[in-house]
Structure 1
Amino acid sequence: MVLQVKVEMFLILKVENAKEMFSCSTEGVYQCRYTGLIFKTATAAEVQYHTVPWDYKKLEQEGLVAAGPLFKMKGLQGTVRQLGFPHCQIISSEETPSLIVIHIKDKTFEKLQAVRTSDTHVFLNINGFCKFGLAKEQHSEGNGHSRIRALVLLFLDHLTLNVLLLPKNVVLREVFENRRKMTEPRNEIYIDTPSKCKLVPDETYSLTCSSEKHTVTPKIAEFDVESYEDYYPTFQVALSNIEPINLYLHEKKQNEKENGTECVWQTYVNLQRSHKGGTIAESSPLSPYTPPGQDFFHRHKAELETRLGLLRPILSGLQKCRVLNPQEREEVENKDGSVRNRTLLLMLEKKGGPAQEDFYRVLQQCDPYLVKDLERPHVYGTSEHPNLLRRDLNSHSRKRQWHINDAIDVT
């Protein structure tokens, strides 16, 4: 049986002190853009979650290795019945990866039976929260490692190009935040280039570039997939100048009868254009640090000026959460027509992000249909909201059925 649920409300995702906040106003199936987690809710629900370090010593004692981030979750309200954890294994008809869901509560280390494993997620029925993560059995000598989906991420730090090899199911927001902290006060620039590839854990790789003027270190390195907390460069390219280059990632041939390497990833990088592109915060593919309320405010400010309806409940809500003081509220109320809306929006713009986040939440309560209409996706099944991947699984009103890429099996 494949779950089909009508999703009528939007997922709200906030980032507060490096913690994600999942919140929805109705039952449904939702996916977090930042983490890839899938939530199946039975009611309106709110969950706070963030990643925490694995106890690698404990994993080793259990004969396991990490196969994904470890999430610490706290249910704030409502009921979440099922979780989908993203994995990076490549599933073929010949081999099904033996992925295990680990549940950690207090000092209890429990292996849980998944409902099923899709091409991208491992699904688990739950009745409570604590710490969850994916693991798999340690490599048995002589059996060889299976190829997994991976990422090659590039960061430019002045005349040093940092190259990171990472499993695909890392939390990208944390990668960028970690790199930002590691390179402050310098402005490291993320280079947006095709990053997807398929690599073999613990296999030996080498990186080359099209110009001999640049120096690559180290000469060879292993692809380490067990750590989901430290994002250090696998390779560094010392650049003699800022010019376009081609990069090639080579893998040692696994066939013992053959010597040499084969190219498993390559890209062209216009370093001159990237160097002018700004800091990591400005160029990362997630635009990662713009919370949804701020994005909504700036994206729809022109429409809000003409479409805001009754302001009294909105002003009351803003005053209640101390975005506006009585004098500011009076100033807005004394204006006429559209000038009243413009005055309020100008105040919110000057007050900055936190005020815009509160305005977004107040507007959702006071005029949810306006918010829903403004956030309505241009192409059905996706959303222009930057912090959301949404799928409507069974929309009778459109006389079509849309299924999440990894529909949840509830049998």
Structure 2
Amino acid sequence: MAQEAELLYRTVPWDESLLQSAGKQAAGPLFDVKSSDEAALCQLRLPHSETEDALLLDGLLSVVHITEEGLSILEPLEVTHTHVVVNVPHLSLLGIIFDPLKRLLRWRINGQILVFLRPPGREEQILDVHLLQNNVLVEEVAEKHRGAVHITLSSDCELDIHHSYSVHCEPEDCDMVYITHPKSKKFESRFGPNYHPTFLVYLTTSTEKVVLKVKDQDGNVVWYCPVSLEDPRKELSQRNVPAESRVPSESRVPSESRAPADQWLLSVRTEFIQRVSPPVLKDLLDKLLESRVIIESEMESARTKSRNDGALEVLDVVRKKGAAASRVLINALKELDPYLYRTLNSS
């Protein structure tokens, strides 16, 4: 800053078509920067996720400056191990980009593994696991998981873009059974605005601690960390409840969590078909596709049918894929139409 002033910034979605026309790709979030005195800001340090080896490539990183007039590219004053330093001619949209032709041989970046524990009271514990570049803002991802607990971990690792990864779980209880969905997934560069989990881990019996591993496509462990699954809000909430109100947890569990998720869907099948609205059904199909519970042809088939027939088809398709897939549908319904969920759960 050249002088004292208020500075405001937020992240905004990239316009991929604009980048492609310039032959560039995003290498970090796109920031919308504003100030009460535009002349006060003279320099920015934008975080990157490149490894030391990648930084040896001359001219790999630059900064894009997007205004109403179009796109211009700013050459960095300096590239440190963590940031790109650039002079700012005037404020607008600014973000780090890279030249894909210089990245043909090496696509390894500094990454981070973020883990969220979904709220308790379900048949199984569910972990949302994200594989991301380390310059993605953790707060932005957490905002998409309101209600879930962000588990603070040693998250640093190195990841190769376009390589496949898988998540593995080693519970302390050797009888523990877990399901990961999908089994493996290709790591791609993502900078929002949505941050869907890369993997879902379903623990079919409750436990307080597990060990999570991320393996690359050759079976090498690229990240390893013990994870505590105790909800820090649980103890706090218990302190605020009168002793006479602290009934056994089994008495407070919703009816749908006392039976396997696929069996619960079967029990509410008729009422779900009669009550679900077309907009909610459409959004459910989108979420099931994003979570890879259904494939695109299954989604399109349900959408071409009447509301009742489409609801019947999607419920039966998901239910037949088992408890883990059924749980994804139930959680999506709870988020999209809480009233219908409560109605079904009380029936």
Class of the TM-score when normalised by the shorter of the 2 chains: 0.5 to 0.7
Could you list the runs of 5+ residues in structure 1 that have no partner in the other structure? 1-40, 181-186, 253-259, 280-411
Residue of structure 2 aligned with 1:221, choices 182, 185, 189: 185
Contact 1:242 1:271 (8 Å CA) reproduced:
no
In structure 2, the CA distance between the partners of 1:127 and 1:272, relative to structure 1 (3 Å rule), is: closer
- Once residues 277 and 163 of structure 1 are traced to their aligned partners in structure 2, the CA distance between those partners, rounded to angstroms, is 24
Following superposition, the deviation at residue 144 of structure 1 comes to 3.2
Q: How does 1:92-241 map to 2 (within 5 A)?
A: 92=53, 94-96=56-58, 98-138=60-100, 143-157=104-118, 158=120, 159-180=125-146, 187-211=147-171, 213-241=177-205
1:90 lines up with 2:51 in the alignment: yes
Following superposition, the deviation at residue 272 of structure 1 comes to 3.3
3-state secondary structure, aligned to 1:175: helix
Following superposition, the deviation at residue 85 of structure 1 comes to 0.6
3-state secondary structure, aligned to 1:45: coil
Contact 1:250 1:261 (8 Å CA) reproduced:
yes
Contact 2:136 2:191 (8 Å CA) reproduced:
no
- Once residues 119 and 84 of structure 1 are traced to their aligned partners in structure 2, the CA distance between those partners, rounded to angstroms, is 12
Residue of structure 1 aligned with 2:22, choices 39, 54, 62: 62
1:306 corresponding residue in structure 2: none
Contact 2:149 2:231 (8 Å CA) reproduced:
no
* Root mean square deviation of aligned Cα: 2.2
Residue of structure 1 aligned with 2:216, choices 246, 251, 270: 251
Runs of 4 or more, structure 1, over 6 Å off, are: none
- Once residues 102 and 186 of structure 2 are traced to their aligned partners in structure 1, the CA distance between those partners, rounded to angstroms, is 18
In structure 2, the CA distance between the partners of 1:274 and 1:268, relative to structure 1 (3 Å rule), is: farther
3-state secondary structure, aligned to 1:176: helix
1:73 lines up with 2:38 in the alignment: no
In structure 2, the CA distance between the partners of 1:195 and 1:277, relative to structure 1 (3 Å rule), is: farther
In structure 2, the CA distance between the partners of 1:135 and 1:44, relative to structure 1 (3 Å rule), is: same
Letter of the aligned partner of 1:234 in structure 2? T
Contact 2:111 2:134 (8 Å CA) reproduced:
yes
Letter of the aligned partner of 2:112 in structure 1? L
- Once residues 235 and 74 of structure 1 are traced to their aligned partners in structure 2, the CA distance between those partners, rounded to angstroms, is 36
3-state secondary structure, aligned to 1:210: strand
Following superposition, the deviation at residue 119 of structure 1 comes to 0.7
Q: How does 1:249-288 map to 2 (within 5 A)?
A: 249-252=214-217, 260-272=218-230, 276=234
Q: How does 1:361-376 map to 2 (within 5 A)?
A: none
How many matched pairs? 225
Greater helix share, 1 or 2?
2
Q: Deviations over 1:36-70 (max 9, x none)?
A: xxxxx111122222111110122122221111111
Contact 1:91 1:97 (8 Å CA) reproduced:
no
3-state secondary structure, aligned to 2:42: strand
Q: How does 1:311-322 map to 2 (within 5 A)?
A: none
Q: Deviations over 1:266-321 (max 9, x none)?
A: 11112136573779xxxxxxxxxxxxxxxxxxxxxxxxxxxxxxxxxxxxxxxxxx
1:257 corresponding residue in structure 2: none
Identity over aligned pairs, percent: 31
In structure 2, the CA distance between the partners of 1:278 and 1:154, relative to structure 1 (3 Å rule), is: farther
Letter of the aligned partner of 1:229 in structure 2? P
Contact 1:191 1:274 (8 Å CA) reproduced:
no
Q: Deviations over 1:339-395 (max 9, x none)?
A: xxxxxxxxxxxxxxxxxxxxxxxxxxxxxxxxxxxxxxxxxxxxxxxxxxxxxxxxx
TM-score by length of 1: 0.51
- Once residues 76 and 267 of structure 1 are traced to their aligned partners in structure 2, the CA distance between those partners, rounded to angstroms, is 44
In structure 2, the CA distance between the partners of 1:60 and 1:208, relative to structure 1 (3 Å rule), is: same
Q: Which has the higher contact order (CA 8 A, sep 6+)?
A: 1
Contact 2:77 2:85 (8 Å CA) reproduced:
yes
Contact 1:189 1:278 (8 Å CA) reproduced:
no
TM-score by length of 2: 0.60
Following superposition, the deviation at residue 112 of structure 1 comes to 1.1
- Once residues 168 and 97 of structure 1 are traced to their aligned partners in structure 2, the CA distance between those partners, rounded to angstroms, is 21
